[in-house]
Structure 1
């Protein structure tokens, strides 16, 4: 999963096109797998119930993927990793009172963000916009999880991902068409990267984590997902030549400690990764 952000950053296709294709291809590949295994797409609650999580997922990708054009992989993945914080805050509005540890974790995470940005001194104007988009992406990811939680329990994983990814992909396709986003004419390298993003991030990330959470603790899986950020930072430094300063490393460590506290302080639920 750590390869997702570096792959997106390396791809020359428009951000919305990447988001569109990763959802549509993932949905299509899942349908193909279900046909080969003689499975049927079952969504007991109906297609309308998939609109909420599908549109939230589309908005999540529409915010987060463009952030990688404006800021570094390290800062973008650090911001998208704050999803557990947003999930905890959203839960508060549904009558679930977060434990005191959650608030402590949020406070530690904020300190980490201040450190990794050099208290604002090491971040440029466009980078702030990118970080803001990634934060919005984290919030929308939390909304996606909240919307999809009930539907996910009512059907099997393959049916859920097929329909929700399909809704997200079609929504992004409409937005791309309205915005005159180029959906073709890329070099072969970009098409290969889009395919890699689909297989590694969408199917190997989103779908796989939803499957694994049923075999282990959601807290364990959620904590493991948090380490996507340092992994992505290392890969971006090696393959994309992005610099990694001391304040960024220290801030990332502090922020991750805070997020681990948040995850362990919340009730078991699946805060799916923003990748």
Structure 2
């Protein structure tokens, strides 16, 4: 990766890549809410189809790397896949049960949980990092508290979104270990495949319908695969070669207002006014966590993870 300051001017292709990536990941929650399919089925199909799309590359140019992968790296890939399944199994239902804006903001607390994982591993966040964690937690409490007066379903959606953010942090921590020796493509293929198999078993055990959807639902699922699952990741990974991880991490937070705007335009879903102050505080806290981690040279986010 080229070492660049966040303050350096970005080349036009990099700016274009970042715009496409943010739009791609912002479409995720609205598409999930739009699709007339069970949440777990949506999570299964987006991972299964993404794994299928990556198969020609992994079993083609990347085949020698896959064959030579060490047991430890493969184990971390499988564990990351389990964590990713937990992420999708909690966050995807939260979008269908509650507000797109709130669910997207609460799952964006991933860097906060990543910072706490780092602290548990002996890599303590800086003072600024702890301040950001406090702000984000306060914002999450305020936003969830605002939903208490709406319905029990809205509160459940908030809890699921928070659990989704925690699972994403575990996924990132495990993926960091796997990607120390594996390329992103090989790691992603194993991880997505594992996630899809786990979600398939859950769907089969739970009697979740995996087919019989209308054309617009299949179109939404395919858009999820091409957009958030593949294109969003690819564009962020491209941008990381031309700008700092801090810039990319902060820009990923634009997914929250982007998702809210798309939900308003597509679904007529307005963010609840009472939750807005809490969501703003939450996002401010997450941004402080990211900047604090960068200042301390202890990365706490995986910029390639976008929902």
How high is the TM-score relative to the length of structure 1?
Answer: 0.92
Q: In structure 1, what is the equivalent of residue 301 of structure 2?
A: 270
Contact 1:141–1:274 (CA under 8 A) maintained in structure 2: no
Structure 1 unmatched ranges of 5 or more: none
Provide the rounded CA distance (Å) in 1 between the counterparts of 2:64 and 2:32. Answer: 30
Contact 1:218–1:269 (CA under 8 A) maintained in structure 2: no
| Greater shift in the superposed pair: 86-95 or 150-159 | 150-159
Q: In structure 2, what is the equivalent of residue 72 of structure 1?
A: 99
Provide the rounded CA distance (Å) in 2 between the counterparts of 1:174 and 1:138. Answer: 22
After TM superposition, give the deviation of residue 160 of structure 1 in Å: 1.2
| Greater shift in the superposed pair: 246-255 or 87-96 | 246-255
Q: In structure 1, what is the equivalent of residue 47 of structure 2?
A: 23
Within a 5 Å distance, the mapping from 1:44-193 to structure 2 comes to 44-46=69-71, 47-117=74-144, 119-120=146-147, 122-193=149-220
Contact 1:81–1:274 (CA under 8 A) maintained in structure 2: no
Contact 2:290–2:300 (CA under 8 A) maintained in structure 1: no
CA distances 1:43-100 after superposition (whole Å, capped 9, x unpaired)? 4224333211111111110111011121110110111010111000111110111111
After TM superposition, give the deviation of residue 107 of structure 1 in Å: 2.2
Helix, strand or coil at the partner of 1:154: coil
CA distances 1:187-221 after superposition (whole Å, capped 9, x unpaired)? 11111111001111111234543454344322221
How high is the TM-score relative to the length of structure 2?
Answer: 0.83
Q: 1:2 aligns with which of 26, 29, 32?
A: 26
Contact 1:138–1:274 (CA under 8 A) maintained in structure 2: no
Structure 2 unmatched ranges of 5 or more: 1-24
Change (3 A) 1:208 1:153: farther
Provide the rounded CA distance (Å) in 2 between the counterparts of 1:207 and 1:120. Answer: 35
Q: In structure 1, what is the equivalent of residue 9 of structure 2?
A: none
Aligned residues: 274
Provide the rounded CA distance (Å) in 2 between the counterparts of 1:244 and 1:83. Answer: 21
Provide the rounded CA distance (Å) in 2 between the counterparts of 1:64 and 1:107. Answer: 22
Q: In structure 2, what is the equivalent of residue 226 of structure 1?
A: 253
Provide the rounded CA distance (Å) in 2 between the counterparts of 1:45 and 1:156. Answer: 13
Change (3 A) 1:54 1:126: same
After TM superposition, give the deviation of residue 118 of structure 1 in Å: 6.1
Provide the rounded CA distance (Å) in 1 between the counterparts of 2:261 and 2:38. Answer: 24
